[in-house]
C-alpha cells in the first residue's frame, strides 16, 4: 500500500484569507499565525545578480511593495524568481542561436539549453505563484487592508465602524 509523502496535499489558507471569506469551514482560526510587516521602499537588487535579473528585480519589487505583497521574509522568493528569469532568458537565447538540436562528439542531441529553459520556467512558475504574479495566484492572495483613520474616532471612544 502506497503512503503519501509528509507535507503533501493542499496548502493551508492564511488565517486572514479565512477571515475575509467568513470562515466557511467554521473551524478554529490560528490566532498565533505570524504577521510580517510589509516593506515601504524597494531594496536595491543584490549586486551579485546578473543585469537581466537586476532589471526584473527593479520592475517587480516596487509593484509588489505597492500592492503590499512583499515582506522582508519574502525577498529570497523574489530573488529566486529574478534568477530563474535570467537563466530562462539566457537559455532561450542559446536555443534561438543554436537550435533545439546540437551536434556533439556523440552525434546530434537535444540542446542542453532546452532543459535549462524548461526547469527555469518551472521555477518561475513556482516562485511567481508565491508572489501572486499570475491571475489565479493573485486571486488567492490576501492583502492587508489599510486602516482608515477617522477624525472623530477619539471623540467616540475608539475607531468604530472602520
Taking only the tens place, the pLDDT of each residue in 6-41 is: 766 777 666 766 776 777 788 888 777 777 777 889
Count helices and strands in the chain by DSSP H and E runs: 5, 2
Per-residue model confidence (pLDDT) at position 157: 52
**Which residue range(s) make up the domain with 101?**
44-138
- According to DSSP, residue 159 is labeled -
Task: pLDDT band for 161, please (50, 70, 90 cuts).
Answer: very low
In 3D space, the residue among 66, 111, 113 whose CA is nearest the CA of residue 88 turns out to be 113
Q: How many domains does the chain have?
A: 1
How far is it, in rounded angstroms, from Cα 58 to Cα 55? 5
Axis crossing angle, helix 51-66 with helix 75-98, rounded to the nearest 10 = 140
How far is it, in rounded angstroms, from Cα 132 to Cα 115? 25
Asked whether residue 62 is domain-assigned, the answer is yes
Asked whether residue 89 is domain-assigned, the answer is yes
Residue 72 neighbours by CB under 8 Å, 6+ apart = 36, 37, 39
Q: What is the largest CA-CA distance in the chain?
A: 83
Residues 38-51: pLDDT tens digits? Answer: 788 989 999 999 99
* Total-model pTM: 0.72
Asked whether residue 76 is domain-assigned, the answer is yes
Asked whether residue 36 is domain-assigned, the answer is no
Asked whether residue 4 is domain-assigned, the answer is no
Asked whether residue 152 is domain-assigned, the answer is no
Judged against a pLDDT cut of 70, whether residue 154 lies above it is answered with no
Q: How many CA atoms lie within 13 A of 114 on its CB side?
A: 8
Residue 85 neighbours by CB under 8 Å, 6+ apart = 52, 53, 56, 120, 124
Asked whether residue 161 is domain-assigned, the answer is no
Asked whether residue 108 is domain-assigned, the answer is yes
What sign results for the dihedral spanned by CA atoms 128, 130, 133, 134?
positive
Amino acid at each position: 500500500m502506497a503512503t503519501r509523502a509528509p507535507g503533501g496535499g493542499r496548502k493551508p489558507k492564511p488565517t486572514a484569507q479565512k477571515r475575509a471569506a467568513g470562515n466557511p469551514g467554521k473551524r478554529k482560526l490560528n490566532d498565533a499565525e505570524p504577521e510580517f510587516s510589509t516593506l515601504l521602499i524597494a531594496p536595491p537588487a543584490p549586486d551579485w545578480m546578473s543585469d537581466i535579473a537586476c532589471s526584473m528585480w527593479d520592475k517587480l519589487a516596487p509593484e509588489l511593495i505597492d500592492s503590499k505583497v512583499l515582506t522582508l521574509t519574502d525577498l529570497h522568493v523574489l530573488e529566486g524568481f529574478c534568477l530563474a528569469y535570467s537563466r530562462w532568458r539566457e537559455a532561450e537565447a542559446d536555443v534561438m542561436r543554436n537550435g533545439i538540436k546540437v551536434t556533439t562528439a556523440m552525434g546530434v542531441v537535444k540542446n542542453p539549453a532546452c532543459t535549462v529553459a524548461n526547469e527555469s520556467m518551472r521555477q518561475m512558475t513556482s516562485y511567481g505563484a508565491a508572489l501572486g504574479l499570475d491571475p489565479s495566484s493573485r486571486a488567492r492572495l490576501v492583502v492587508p487592508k489599510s486602516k482608515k483613520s477617522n477624525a472623530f474616532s477619539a471623540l467616540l471612544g475608539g475607531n468604530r465602524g472602520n
